[in-house]
Structure 1
Amino acid sequence: MSGRVRVILLSAVALVLVVAGIAFAANKAIDKADKAIPQTDLFGSATPSAGAPASPTPEPGADIKGPLDILLVGIDSRESIKTWQPHADTVMILHVTKDLEHAYLTSLPRDLVVPIPAFKKANFPGETTKLTHAMSYGARVPGTNIPKVAQGFELLAKTVSNYTGIKRFDAGGILTFNGMKELVDSLGGIDIYVDQKVTSIHRNTKGQALSRVGGTAKTYKVGQQKMNGWQALDYARQRYISGSDYARQRHNRQLVKAIMVKLFSRDVVANPANLDKVVKALGKTLTFDGRGHRLVDYAFALKNLKPANVTLVGLPGGSVMSGGSYRGEALNSIRKEYFAALRADALDEFVTENPKLVNKK
């Protein structure tokens, strides 16, 4: 399976961060998710998610205060190959406002040209190159060819912090391909608005690989459509379309919101069997670090964060060329204003003044 499939894996992280809807419908389900999903130290701070509290009071997550900045990373890990060096195929930043009731989700291009700092743990001297490589360079473990993904996330987080000015992320998540198709299918599919005609270069109308069996390429027409797991994966991975990788990033964000909407639907939260399927799929896909807080803590803290209050923001950019060769991507100068507003928790005002950056559908 091509690494490009992994570009949409951040959808599952969104499930974790808004799973509070489940918590109040079925507390046992959120407890299962807390135990089933790997939770480890991703920031090198020695503060992975804590264990169960000694007392049932106060309410979980009561000490989590906004605003929050959460780093979400999808990697092209090929889990069957232990020596495979992971790359960050998707990098998203979720900013939750001080009231914990509104959020803004934006993306950084995987090919964004940035200074990656020196990283002693991997004997990496530092280099200015594509953001995606921060994960692979950081994951290297001296003396072995087996990468350490959590260590790669640590370097990626440092790189993103330097670029955006966000001094500290409050939580983070890594997703791989394993379980993603099952995750979407466990939700009974998703409803997503296709904002431009997309013709797949990977799958035919039956979901088979065009490179192996041929057939008619799957086409996604403009309008509201219901997609199952393979269709959601296929649609969101396409970048050889109008808008190229920036359109792909937008489709990633749209997919995140579509999954969030479906999670809050009654046929999911009110059905224990469906909830169990979702939890099992998440356990196969996600690794989470709450910086000392458990998954359930974030679920309760974000109980009022509904899909309608999540704004998707697309930052414009373009290709960087050197000597006639493609070097990577660079975001336009407005990104400085965006991240300044984010750090000041003033994105409400920013998007009001820059409505063209908001993904409407």
Structure 2
Amino acid sequence: MARRAAPVARHGKLPRRNPWTTVGKFVASSLAVALVSATAVVAWAVTDVVQTVPEGVTLAGETPGQPIPDINSIEGGANVLVIGSDSREGQGDGYGQHETAKLNDVTMLLHIAEDHSNATVVSFPRDMYVPIPSCPKVDDEGNPTGEYHYAMSRQKINTSLSYGGMACTVLTVEELTGIDIQYATMVQFNGVIALSNAIGGVEVCLAQSIKDPKTDLDLPAGNVSLKGKDALQFLRTRHGVSDGSDLGRISNQQLFLSALVRDLKSAETLTDPVKLYSIAKVAATNMTFSQSLNNINTMVGLARSLADIPTDKITFVQYPNYYEGDGVAPLTSDAETLMDAIKADKNLSVTGGTGGSIPKDGETDGGTTEPPASTAPPETERPDSTEPPQDDTVELPDSIHGQNASQVTCADGNGR
């Protein structure tokens, strides 16, 4: 029941109102409404996404159905393996033949430093010969059957997915790099299209136009905004860029991802929970996750951990290699230099050029843009590095190509 106001004395004075107090109360009440509304939107988004997340794939060492901690941001470092499957299964028409193939033609390892000061993404060439360890056999859903494949001393890395699913690719990269991988995710063609649409497209620079009949890609020179199928085909094309090799395609993918990071940061997407959960919902329904990553807060936490890392401290590199036979082989000593730096959470400086893309406006990229052309194994001795740079940055050997996310590079198209 409302309290009745006391009568005011006929000759008494009402207290004077301070206009700033009134404004302050208005602002405070408006802010409260805004915060409650934002919280409600986020809560709705989280609930909506969680209901759509399918059961994740079990990696070696994971327990099926094991509860995942409810976290909103990750603490410490993280290693995430991102796999792009070449399988056409369930993808519809328009992607060429080999519909039954299950190859990890894109394999990338994201490492986030313990203190979130830097991040590195390592791309592994699909035709690189590596040992494949004993992997669990999997059923049609990608889950272990309890049986194992024999270990193999030398196979192309992109065959690991066909031997034992995502878990086998994780084990293969762990053995190659010596890095423990906590999280893994896999995407197919339609998933890339859906994700590029969800983020609103990515603007990239083309030094020359791209014409690739094998992927139906036809793009003009200049700045181009890529989304949907154009984004997918840009990431897939190799005949349309650089020297037409898979190594040149890796450079194209790094160019795209660098532009993506810049776009996400400029739009403040990585600090906007509503945007992040919206994108996470698309990811949840278009990608396959390990049990450890099959949690919406974990996905968002990983993304948010990149928000405070400067773009020049987010580095994309190609695993060092040399041509051998019908593929490539690891440059062992240079790979050890790279992996040691990553394990120590060092920031990386790329001196070997981009490997295919062209610096915008004629800026130097610190090295050649040509992929490695050696046909013989390199020297096995590692360079003396007893005096690390004072800024805690490791200067990588010039056999390692790549760029950091602050560098604006242009795709070297073939449509001259």
Same fold (TM over 0.5): yes
Change (3 A) 1:177 1:120: closer
In 2, distance between residues paired with 1:199 and 1:23? Answer: 47
In 2, distance between residues paired with 1:274 and 1:358? Answer: 29
Q: Secondary structure in 2 aligned to 1:202?
A: coil
Residue 168 of structure 2 corresponds to 155
Q: Secondary structure in 1 aligned to 2:214?
A: strand
Aligned residue pair count = 302
Q: Secondary structure in 2 aligned to 1:179?
A: helix
TM-score scaled by length of structure 2:
0.61
State yes or no: 1:353 paired with 2:392: no
Q: Secondary structure in 2 aligned to 1:336?
A: helix
The AA in structure 2 aligned to 1:69 is N
CA deviation digits over 1:110-167, x for unaligned, max 9? 11101112335355223211011111011xxxxxxxxxxxxx111111111111111x
Change (3 A) 1:66 1:160: same
Residue 281 of structure 1 corresponds to 282
- Structure 1 residue 94: Cα displacement: 0.4
Structure 2 unaligned residues grouped into runs of 5+: 1-37, 92-98, 138-146, 349-388, 409-416
In 2, distance between residues paired with 1:109 and 1:24? Answer: 44
Residue 70 of structure 1 corresponds to 80
Which consecutive segments of 4 or more residues in structure 1 shift more than 6 A?
22-25, 267-277
In 2, distance between residues paired with 1:164 and 1:23? Answer: 42
In 2, distance between residues paired with 1:224 and 1:24? Answer: 38
Picking from 192, 201, 211, the partner of 1:199 is: 211
- Structure 1 residue 177: Cα displacement: 1.7
- Structure 1 residue 189: Cα displacement: 1.9
Identity of aligned residues (%): 25
The AA in structure 2 aligned to 1:256 is L
Residue 156 of structure 2 corresponds to 130
Higher Rg:
2
- Contact conserved, 2:78 with 2:114, CA < 8 A, in 1? yes
- Structure 1 residue 266: Cα displacement: 4.3
CA deviation digits over 1:44-73, x for unaligned, max 9? 2234686576xxxxx8256x4322211111
In 2, distance between residues paired with 1:317 and 1:278? Answer: 35
Residue 100 of structure 1 corresponds to 116
- Contact conserved, 1:77 with 1:85, CA < 8 A, in 2? yes
Structure 1 unaligned residues grouped into runs of 5+: 1-21, 54-58, 139-151, 204-208, 210-216
State yes or no: 1:330 paired with 2:329: yes
- Structure 1 residue 170: Cα displacement: 1.6
Residue 234 of structure 2 corresponds to 235
Change (3 A) 1:304 1:280: closer
Change (3 A) 1:80 1:225: closer
Change (3 A) 1:293 1:125: closer
Residue 6 of structure 1 corresponds to none
State yes or no: 1:80 paired with 2:79: no
In 2, distance between residues paired with 1:267 and 1:351? Answer: 27
Change (3 A) 1:195 1:251: farther
In 2, distance between residues paired with 1:265 and 1:23? Answer: 23
- Structure 1 residue 201: Cα displacement: 2.8
Q: Secondary structure in 2 aligned to 1:74?
A: strand
Change (3 A) 1:172 1:49: farther
Matches within 5 A, 1:159-308: 159-166=172-179, 168-194=180-206, 198-203=210-215, 209=216, 218-221=218-221, 223-240=222-239, 241-243=241-243, 244-264=245-265, 266=267, 278-289=279-290, 291=292, 294-300=295-301, 303-306=304-307, 308=311
Q: Secondary structure in 2 aligned to 1:90?
A: strand
- Contact conserved, 2:50 with 2:296, CA < 8 A, in 1? yes
CA deviation digits over 1:62-120, x for unaligned, max 9? 6x432221111111222339x93511110000010111242111200111101112335
The AA in structure 1 aligned to 2:76 is G
- Contact conserved, 1:70 with 1:93, CA < 8 A, in 2? yes
CA deviation digits over 1:197-237, x for unaligned, max 9? 5332335xxxxx4xxxxxxx61452x432123222112221
Alignment RMSD (CA, Å): 3.7
In 2, distance between residues paired with 1:355 and 1:288? Answer: 34
The AA in structure 2 aligned to 1:289 is S
The AA in structure 2 aligned to 1:242 is S
